[in-house]
Structure 1
Amino acid sequence: MNDQTPKQVVVAGFGFTSAATPESFAQALKATGYKDKIDLLATPSDKALQPAFLDFGRAQRLIANAVTRNALEAAETKTQSLLSRLMRRTGSVAEAAALAAAGPGATLIVTRQISNDRMATCAIAKGADA
């Protein structure tokens, strides 16, 4: 591989309730069916320090990106949740977090998927060529 080859960051974005557990996040990620390398986790800034999310991130050996409210609202999501729209002004917190953290020109690889316990959602986005 050439050192000049552009790197595309892959981000797993999460939305979740305060009752979510590390297993909730693992289930949501598994539900995406995404098997390749993930570079970064993302979630709204007010949730980024939740202990269960931090525990999940440590287990995955990934850093979490705290996404601002403005960035969440600006992201165009493919799926639409009425609750997400009312609470966060975005159609999908997971999709918006993934897209925002992946940067300008990011594309959604997997739309939001829901954990078995319905406590977490996950979506996967890929950044534009760096």
Structure 2
Amino acid sequence: MRVAGIGFRGAATVDDLAAALALAGDADALATDTSKAGAAVMLALAARTGLAVRAVDVSGTATPTASVRVTEAFGTGSVAEAAALVAAGRNARLVVGRVVAPNGMATAAIAEGDGA
């Protein structure tokens, strides 16, 4: 199972999320923090790609990259990396670290694991 974790700023558009996802690569599902999973842009990305969105709690998840702002707000260094890792399930590992959309409004990362 390949899961694309998605992080984004409040003003991000679906095109911003799609740009980050395109940089990260193919996935079987999308994931983001529970506080972002119902956002219109996330649902629009799911509709555009045909992938289900998994809402996960990213707090406390160790990530290879870290943003001070994200750590303070979400309790993890990268929403994209943490969401991908948590949603990918047991034995999850990042296969694509955090990539940033050209305008900086969205991030994506890909993890593989034993998740269903």
- Taking the aligned partners of 1:126 and 1:100, their CA distance within structure 2 comes to 10
Q: For residues 1-130 of structure 1, what are the structure 2 equivalents within 5 Å?
A: 9-32=1-24, 34=25, 36=26, 38-68=27-57, 72-128=58-114
Identity %: 43
Structure 1 residue runs of 4+, over 3 Å off? none
**In the aligned structure 2, how far is the partner of 1:63 from the partner of 1:109?**
20
Q: Number of aligned residue pairs: give it.
A: 116
Unmatched 5+ stretches in structure 1: 1-8
* Structure 2 residue runs without a partner (length 5+): none
Q: Distance in 1 between matches of 2:54 and 2:103?
A: 24
- Secondary structure, in 3 states, of the residue corresponding to 2:59? helix
SS at match of 1:73: coil
Higher radius of gyration, 1 or 2: 1
Matches of 1:18 and 1:30, distance apart in 2: 20
Structure 1 length normalisation: TM-score? 0.83
Q: What is the Cα-based RMSD across aligned positions, in Å?
A: 1.5
